[in-house]
Amino acid sequence: MPELPDLTVVAEELIRRTAGRTVREATAPTPILLRSTPEELAALAGSTVGETRRRGKFLLIPLVRSDGEQRILAANAMLAGRFWLVPHATRVRARTGLRLRLDGDKDLRYVDREMLGKLYLLGPDRLDEIPGWSEMGPDADDPELTPERFHERIRRHPGELKPLLRNSRFVAGIGNAYSDEILWAARLAPFRRRSTIGAEDIDRLYHAMRSVLADAVERLRVLIPPNIETQHREFLKVHLRGGEPCPRCGRELRQIGGREATTFCRTCQPPL
Ligand SMILES: [Zn+2]
């Protein structure tokens, strides 16, 4: 599932390669993935692509229509949704929720093998209609999310640390992979409850969150372009590396759960 670092770099690449381009034609081969109307979709022909940005786990692609009206294409990719930027004739063997034929030789397509993601096409003042949008907390890399504000916010969110980091009402943009990385960097067990950690632990968690995400963005800037549909996780230190030695202490990393696995080190991240 794409998380803050992946989507940050995809947004940068989309700005570089699609901003200012004209949409020649907009179609939805698998219409169920797109929350819109056929009229709204057809009206995208002739629109100009603006600068893509990320908010939480959403990519927001502004489209200025030829009548001057702006629409935002908001994508929540969930598990397997990806944007592809490919030559017009490319065949993609998966469900395509949206195909924007751009001027030049490329299509911008949203492809989703699992069909779990959602696309929304809305006016810029209607993003609140997206489920969960208005409850979203600050982005995990938001400059205004200071250590003080992090301390203040975490007090309002009880429960175990891993689900807490993944809760977009607390901080937005972190999922299963980067929550493992952050907790390992902070030396905090994923199952510890927020009520059992002190101010120093919270500081460590904050700084681990910032540095893990910033380092990943740096790595991904090298790895992702030009293939924005690919996911790179090979540089992660612990996530899905159960059974391998912990890069810090050398003991075997533990992993529990299946598809949504949690990986951690019982020595570096003691239960209490
Ligand atoms: Zn360890």
Average pLDDT, the chain: 95
How much is the pLDDT for 236?
98
Paired sense of beta strands 118-122 and 34-35, if any = parallel
How far is the centre of ligand 1, averaged over its atoms, from the C-alpha of 256 (Å)?
16
How far is the centre of ligand 1, averaged over its atoms, from the C-alpha of 267 (Å)?
5
How much is the pLDDT for 91?
87
Per-residue pLDDT of the chain in tens (272 residues, 90 and over written 9): 899 999 999 999 999 999 999 999 999 998 888 899 999 999 999 999 999 999 999 999 999 999 999 999 999 987 778 999 999 998 887 789 899 999 999 999 999 888 888 999 999 999 999 999 999 999 999 999 999 999 999 999 989 999 999 999 999 999 999 999 999 999 999 999 999 999 999 999 999 999 999 999 999 999 999 999 999 999 999 999 999 999 999 999 999 998 789 999 999 999 87
How far is the centre of ligand 1, averaged over its atoms, from the C-alpha of 90 (Å)?
45
How far is the centre of ligand 1, averaged over its atoms, from the C-alpha of 184 (Å)?
8
How far is the centre of ligand 1, averaged over its atoms, from the C-alpha of 3 (Å)?
24
How far is the centre of ligand 1, averaged over its atoms, from the C-alpha of 264 (Å)?
8
Paired sense of beta strands 53-55 and 70-76, if any = unpaired
How far is the centre of ligand 1, averaged over its atoms, from the C-alpha of 189 (Å)?
11
What share of residues in the chain are helix, strand, coil (percent, to 5)? 30, 25, 45
How far is the centre of ligand 1, averaged over its atoms, from the C-alpha of 187 (Å)?
9
Q: How far is C-alpha 148 from the chain's CA centre?
A: 25
How much is the pLDDT for 62?
98
The three-point CA angle 129-134-136 to 5° equals 130
How far is the centre of ligand 1, averaged over its atoms, from the C-alpha of 204 (Å)?
16
How far is the centre of ligand 1, averaged over its atoms, from the C-alpha of 212 (Å)?
17
Q: Residue 191 carries which side chain, given as an amino acid letter?
A: F
How far is the centre of ligand 1, averaged over its atoms, from the C-alpha of 39 (Å)?
56
Give the whole-angstrom CA distance, residue 257 versus residue 82: 25
pTM: 0.95
The DSSP letter of residue 22 is B
How much is the pLDDT for 201?
97
Ordered domains of the chain (ranges, CATH):
4-129 (3.20.190.10), 147-264 (1.10.8.50)
Ion ligand 1 — residues with CB < 5 Å: 246, 248-249, 265, 267-268
Q: DSSP readout, 170-232? A: TSBS--HHHHHHHHHHTT--TT-BGGG--HHHHHHHHHHHHHHHHHHHHHHHHHSTT-TT---
How far is the centre of ligand 1, averaged over its atoms, from the C-alpha of 262 (Å)?
15
How far is the centre of ligand 1, averaged over its atoms, from the C-alpha of 89 (Å)?
49
Tokens 């502004």 found at: 62
How far is the centre of ligand 1, averaged over its atoms, from the C-alpha of 153 (Å)?
29
How far is the centre of ligand 1, averaged over its atoms, from the C-alpha of 246 (Å)?
5
How far is the centre of ligand 1, averaged over its atoms, from the C-alpha of 232 (Å)?
23
How far is the centre of ligand 1, averaged over its atoms, from the C-alpha of 268 (Å)?
4
